[in-house]
Amino acid sequence: MACRRALRAHSPCRQPFAVQLLRLIKGCGCAVRNFHTNKTAYNKCQFGFLFDIDGVIVRGRKPLPHAKEAFQLLAQDGQFKVPTLFVTNAGNSLRSRKAQQLSEWLGIQVTEDQVVMSHSPLKMFRQFHDKHVLVNGQGPVKAIAQNIGFTNVTTVEELSHRFPDLDKMDHQRKKAAPCAFEEFFPKIEAVILFGEPVRWETPMQLIMDVLLTDGQPSNDLPDIPYPHLPVLACNMDLLWMAENRLPRLGHGCFMNALEGLYQKITGKEMKYTALIGKPSEITYHHADYLLTQQAKLLGVPQIRRIYCVGDNPTTDIYGGNLYNRYLQRRRKDSNTPSQTASKKRRVASHRADDEFLDEDNDDEDDMDTSIYQRDSGANMRVIKSLEEDKSGVEKALSCETILVCTGVFKKGTETTALLSPRLICNHNHRDFVIDPMLINPTHVVPDVLEAVKLVFEKETYP
C-alpha cells in the first residue's frame, strides 16, 4: 500500500496502478541509448546473458584468462551482437565507471546501460527518493545515491562531521563539546547500506545512533523506538573473490555484524525494509527488463532464455534459479484455467524452454516467492505489483544458471555441501530461506569461455 500511495503522490493524474508502475519501471533512469549501430532487421539470437563480474571476468583488477576471448564471441566489429548485461553486487562506483573498466578489460565497447550494480533497482523505490537518507559505503556514495534519484542525502562522514561527539571509537578523534549545528539537523528518515565501508567502527556507531534515536542523533529518547527506521540494503554477499587465494569479507559480513550488534543492544531483531542485489528477485526483474530493451535494439524479437553466469552458488546461482521459478509460475498462471491444457501447451512449445519446468511438482510451482525472502516488505510490494501487471512488460520464458570455477566456487566442492539441510556454514543472508535446490546450477563449467561455448552449442548459435 505504501508503494501505491507513493506512486499516487507522484502521479500527475489518477491512472490505474499497473499503468503507473509500468511507466515507473520504464522511466526509472535506465533509458537505453542507441549504442548499437549494427541494428539489424532480424537477429536469430533468442537468448541473453547476465554475467557476474568478480570471479567470472576479473579477480581483483586482473582479467581472468579467456575472458577477453569469451566476449569476442559475443561481438561483431567491436559491438555486441548477443544481448548481454553485467550484473554485479559491487556498489562502490557509478555504472559509467564500471562500464569503462569492462570496456578496457574486454576490448569491446560496454555501455552503462549494460551494467546493473547492486543498488540499481533502488530506482524503483521512489517512495524513499525525497526522504532524508543516511547512506553508508565507500566510493562516491553521495553521487551514486543522487544518480539513482535520492534528493536529500547525508553520508556517514557528513553525519560524523555534524555530530563530532558521537564517534569515540578512535581516542584521537574524541571531541568533548557537542556540535552547534545539532539542533538544526533534519531528522533522518531511512538508512541505505550501499556496501562495506573502509573502516567499520564509525559507521557501526553512527548507524546504531540513528536507529536508536529515530533519526535524530542528538535526541535522548526514554524508550528504544521499534520498529526502527526503514533500512534498505544492497549487496548481501558474505564473501567475494579478489586476487587472494581465500575469499575476502564482503558487505554481508558488515550487515551480519550490524544485525548482531542491534540484537545484542536492543534485544530485538533488526529488520530490513528492502534487500537489493543478487540473489534478490527484484534485481532479476530489473535485469530482465533491461535485457529486453537491449534485445530490441539488436533486432532480437524475443529473449526466450536467460543464461546467468556466476561464480557464487549462494548469490548468482540461487538468484538465477529463484527467478526461473518466478518465470515458471508466471507461465503456468498465464496458461490457466486448465492444468491439463497447460501441460499440453508446454509439450507443444519449444523443448529447450520446457526442460526446466518440473511437470510433476505442481506444489513447487504454486509456492509464493515471498517464502524465500522474509520481512522484505518493499521488495515484495514491488514484485507483487509487477506480477499483477500482465501487459507491456515482456519476460523471458526461462532462466538457466551456469557456475564457473574461477572464483568463490572451486571444482570438487559439491554445491549441496554448501547448503545442506544440516547446514554448518550458510552463506546466504539471514532473510533468505534456505532451499538447497536453488543453489544447484543447471551447468558447471571451468570458466566463462566454456560457458559461452556451451550456450552457443545448446542454442545452435550463430
With CB atoms as reference, the residue minimizing the distance to Mg ion is 55
Whether 281 and 326 have beta carbons less than 8 Å apart is answered as yes
The interface with Mg ion within residues 33-52 (CB under 5 A) comprises: 52
The interface with Mg ion within residues 299-318 (CB under 5 A) comprises: 311-312
DSSP string for 396-453: -SEEEEEEESSSSS-TT--HHHHS-SS-S---S-TTBPP-GGGG--SEEESSHHHHHH
> Least distance (Å) from Mg ion to the CB of residue 445?
15
Is the CB of 90 or the CB of 357 nearer to Mg ion? 90
> Least distance (Å) from Mg ion to the CB of residue 88?
8
> Least distance (Å) from Mg ion to the CB of residue 74?
19
237 touches Mg ion (CB under 5 A): no
DSSP string for 31-71: PPP---S---S-----EEEEE--BTTTEETTEEPTTHHHHH
> Least distance (Å) from Mg ion to the CB of residue 196?
15
> Least distance (Å) from Mg ion to the CB of residue 187?
38
CB atoms within 10 A of CB 297: 20
Helix residue spans in 227-361 (DSSP H):
251-266, 281-297, 318-334, 339-348, 351-354
55 touches Mg ion (CB under 5 A): yes
Is the CB of 311 or the CB of 431 nearer to Mg ion? 311
Counting residues that bind Mg ion (by CB under 5 A) gives 5
> Least distance (Å) from Mg ion to the CB of residue 236?
13
> Least distance (Å) from Mg ion to the CB of residue 424?
22
Cα 55 to Cα 63: distance, rounded to the nearest angstrom? 9
Q: Position of cell 570438487?
A: 412
DSSP 8-state secondary structure symbol assigned to residue 442: S
Is the CB of 259 or the CB of 311 nearer to Mg ion? 311
Is the CB of 64 or the CB of 144 nearer to Mg ion? 64
Q: Which stretch binds Mg ion (CB under 5 A): 15-23, 24-32, 55-63, 127-135?
A: 55-63
Is the CB of 20 or the CB of 406 nearer to Mg ion? 406
Nearest-CA neighbor of 88 among 110, 115, 111?
A: 115
2, HSE (Cβ side, Cα atoms, 13 Å) = 12
Cα 342 to Cα 189: distance, rounded to the nearest angstrom? 47
Is the CB of 311 or the CB of 447 nearer to Mg ion? 311
> Least distance (Å) from Mg ion to the CB of residue 312?
5
Q: Which stretch binds Mg ion (CB under 5 A): 53-61, 144-152, 297-305, 430-438?
A: 53-61
The interface with Mg ion within residues 350-369 (CB under 5 A) comprises: none
Cα 78 to Cα 109: distance, rounded to the nearest angstrom? 6
- Dig out the grid coordinates for 64 from the structure: 581472468
Is the CB of 52 or the CB of 196 nearer to Mg ion? 52
417, HSE (Cβ side, Cα atoms, 13 Å) = 6
> Least distance (Å) from Mg ion to the CB of residue 52?
4
Is the CB of 208 or the CB of 287 nearer to Mg ion? 287
Is the CB of 87 or the CB of 108 nearer to Mg ion? 87
Q: Report helix, strand or coil for 274.
A: strand
Q: Which of 46, 54, 58, 150 binds Mg ion (CB under 5 A)?
A: 54
> Least distance (Å) from Mg ion to the CB of residue 291?
19
Whether 443 and 317 have beta carbons less than 8 Å apart is answered as no
Cα 360 to Cα 317: distance, rounded to the nearest angstrom? 23
Q: Position of cell 527484484?
A: 282
252 touches Mg ion (CB under 5 A): no
Is the CB of 56 or the CB of 211 nearer to Mg ion? 56
- Cβ neighbours of residue 23 under 8 Å, at least 6 residues apart? none
Whether 139 and 92 have beta carbons less than 8 Å apart is answered as yes
> For binding to Mg ion (CB under 5 A), which residues are involved?
52, 54-55, 311-312
